Structure 1
Amino acid sequence: MALQHSVKVAGIPAPPRGRRRSLIARPLPLPSRRARRDDRLILSALIAADLAVLVLACVLAIAIRRHLTFLGVSQSLPDSLVVSSVVIAAVWMVALLAFGATNPRVIASGAEIYRGVLMGTLGAVGFVGAVLFLADIPLSRPYFVVLFLLGPLLLLLVRVLARRFVNLARTRGRLRSQVLVVGSTGHVRGIVRTLGREVWLGYDVVGAVAPISDERRSEDAGVPILGDESQMLDLVREVRPDVVLFTAGSSASAEEFRRVAWELEELEVGVIVVPGVSEISGDRIRMRPVAGLPLVHMDLPRSRKALKKGKRIFDVVASAALLLLLAPVFATIALCVRFGDGGKVIFRQERVGRGGEPIEFLKFRSMVVDAEARRIELEKLERDRGNDVLFKMADDPRITRVGRVLRRYSLDELPQLWNVLRGDMSLVGPRPALPQEVSGYDVDAHRRLAVRPGITGLWQVSGRSDLSWDDTVRLDLFYVDNWSFMQDLLILVRTVRAVMASRGAY
């Protein structure tokens, strides 16, 4: 699939061969430099925090080494250990910078920032170890081991805290960048919707530039259409955005886009290019520049990989272990439900599993005995949160007193571990749907049935019942198409936090 991400600007001649001259005929006012200033602030804060934790790691390593000396476990403490610590910390800091562990552009999302810490640490270990060996420099082995065990943990902790701080600041209106989007109306609308939903990314779309040939220019793009491609540079000077974001739908050639990039360089405006694909995880994409063409190679969707034996073995082992460990909790909940109103402990319901096959879904009963009979009456009321397919009420009158506690902390879901053990469900996957819900699915939503439904998933850790139906489908489709074992582990970890926060649990 060939994608063009260029903007046609009328009146810009090709630069002459030889020494390139400036394309700007007169001095121009520079756009806002907030983004550069914010990047420098984040970079300075990360470097300062890294230096602080490296010093702390060295101090702790020396203290532990002295403690071992005091206990007579090892030899006396070398006098040069402090000097060695300074050199190692400096080498380590340089390695972190070289491997991008302090890159402010990747602090908000993705694993690059953590990968940079690990690669920088490995580089520092290799360099220090090689110098010690080649120069025959004695260094305490306990100190070396402790330092390079504590250091990475502290550095990763800094990234976790920095990511939380940056995302929170952006959510509250700080560290944000103004964006001018260039592309067709349809693609602009999609970008505006995504950036508006993911506030933590820190992008505020101030307007759009659409091609003259776009037949849908009159449609609502979510932001004002400020002009066409021939006016783009004038609009940049007027609007003064921090970033110009090029999406699909432009009508110019690669050469014209390159000339526009030269102009934006002179204006000191950042450039982002968004391909015409979305909801693709980073590990499915490979960028390979060939003959000057930035070819994007994309792996096929991974729904079949989510059915591999490795995931099933993990489900069986984990569910069996949890059933044994939580047996006292099961007994306590069963007694509370039974003595609450005298009804049945386990609620059994038909749900739709993988491939549309029916499964018997198990839960601790959290509603009154005649809950299903009363549902028809309640469905006539307005659905919560704009979810037109899933029936959820924040103040459902059918929930019992015990049931409210169970639902708040998702304890009613525990019997589904038996569903996982017998193969009806997985620990992680899309929400198991009711037959009447599946009957309302469109073509895209049916894709959710390509894998086993799960006890938890992206839906549960991203807002649960507070999400709209469109967001629910989007998250589940992202999981199905981009499955990975590491993503499953991360979702399980995030589930613990989501359960404790109990947001959207009703």
Structure 2
Amino acid sequence: MNKNAISTQALQLIDAALVLLAAFLSEKIWQHSWEWLDSFERIVIERKSSDGFTQLGNNVWVVAVFIPLVLEMFGFYKQRYKRSLRRAVVPIFETFMVIFFLLGVITMFFKLDLPHRPTLVMVPSIFTVLVLLREWGLQAYYRHVATHDEAKIQVILAGAPGAIEEWEASLKRADRDRMHVVQRFNLRDHDELELDSMLASHPAERVVFLVRDIAFDKVTKAVETAELQGVEAWIAADFVRARIAKPTFDLFNGQSMLVLRSTPSLSWALLAKDFFDRISAAVLLVMSSPIWLIAAAGIMISNPGPVFFRQRRAGRYGKPFGMWKFRTMYQDAEARLAEVKEKAGNEMDGPVFKLEKDPRVFKFGEILRRTSIDELPQLINVLKGEMSMVGPRPLPIYEVAAFERSAHRRRLSVKPGITCTWQAGGRNKITSFEEWVQMDLEYIDNWSLWEDFKIVLMTVPAVLFGKGAK
């Protein structure tokens, strides 16, 4: 486990303790308030004891563990060096929004009593104040490190002179403030013996190897030199110029492997996304069951035949799966696709076919499409793990095969979704497939739980005001 991971977990433990402290202080303040109200004979407010705090107290350990995990999902523990208190408040606010939403869902479906309103107000408020005090102290420590070289990480930079200068110029101020460069070593023109002498005369805890344009056998010997002296060797992966992918290291077959990922890597946030996907899909399936019955009856009356339409779509990494929808077209729709394209054309350029007034859609099917009810069966795909609630829309296999640029296939690197940025925002305006793909790639590159939440909120009015899929 690296130092950054340890410091993150230490902060999470501190914040979990602050949750407990906030609950304790809130209960004491509430109890003291009732003692003060005794003198007024509690005319205004009817006392109901401190049941709200009793309920919280019974579950406070769960809350204390859960809050730091949600904070991590919202990036609270990333880029924490030299940030303003205002930037620290945003993920705290987002965290309590999620917690209040979950409390509402749990109390509604399990018919539990919510803690009293003072509990819901005082605990988050006191916790926020405590965390901001902790954050203020942490930022004071970072400012101390930035002004005292002895408190910084002592580093030797080893590599070609040009690579060293380029790397130092690219350093963010926060990273530069945490590091003191004691020496720069020209690894291209000098050997490991000279590095050994430098390490002996200039104590350092870390050697950063910038290995671009350096022979690998020379790098290996230099790393072994640092290893023998017990100095950490950090190797910059700048010998691979990745424009999109983010480099990480992982173990495979017992060997350390450099991994370049252009999609969100496995994290608590992704695990939470999968958990919320399946839970929300199950809940929506139950809640929408009456609509399923109405839709099925309408389809059988309007155009007798199968209620559902199942089509092979491209899932994550292009893996085919059967996507479910309520049938909105006549049964010969697939066979008539080429004919419709020839006669009516295509409102979307590129390999994707979109047509607002598709003659293959029967009357009741138009209602299902306009209200997006035809998409409800995809909740089954979400439950099976083939789709997500939010993600790029899955395309038919034959449309994916017609992609003209390999870059378009990067939209297949995440699970497809029921809704996406295009679906929620501009689906009735955008006719450029290139622009559609760009929206999907921006979603992938900037993904977060909060981004998913915003897209879901955008989807609701898009459906309610009849901006359904074409």
For this structure pair, what is the TM-score category when the shorter chain's length is used for normalisation?
A: 0.3 to 0.5
Higher RCO, 1 vs 2 (CA within 8 Å, ≥6 residues apart): 1
TM-score (norm 2): 0.46
Question: Scaled by the length of structure 1, what TM-score is found?
Answer: 0.43
